[in-house]
Amino acid sequence: MHISTPAIFQRILRVAGLLLALIVFAPTTSRAQTWLVSTDAYVKLGVLDKFGQLGAYTAKFVVINQATGKEYTLVRQISEGAKGIDVVFPSEASEADYFKTEKGEAATAKPGQYTWECQVKGKKVVGGRFNFSEVANDVTLVGKN
């Protein structure tokens, strides 16, 4: 099948016209600089059966916000051979298991003092306290030189 020269020429003109339109309607450089800032505080809590004497066990982590008195819990099963686990407070509510109140309210990293403990077989085995401080973000505009 023979392709005529005018058909090829028309195709080239269409492609050139499309490229010209893209150049003409291309966005110009932005005049304002925009930054997205995200700051999240987390604490990693953990428990470890150092010598592996318990085998499989259940670890219940309890975190209490000292200002509000709200108690957040997270229960994790530790399989035999694993010995221990680390968890992150506050955990994302989108996870299958997360720190929450009895009513299902997800924990947040509000500024303030917190206490925590890990219970195994109903007894406190480890615990401590931590603080979340106020967070401030600074954004600097970078100019072209």
Q: How do residues 94-140 score in pLDDT, each as one tens digit?
A: 888 899 999 999 999 999 999 999 999 999 999 999 999 887 777 77
Task: Map out the domains of the chain with their CATH numbers.
Answer: 43-132 (2.60.40)
CA distances from 80 to 16, 50, 74, 83 (A): 68, 13, 19, 7
Token readout for 69 is 């008195």
Q: Residue 89: what pLDDT?
A: 95
Q: What is the pLDDT of residues 19-47, one digit of tens each?
A: 777 777 777 665 666 777 877 889 999 99
Give φ, ψ of 138 to 5 degrees. -110, 135
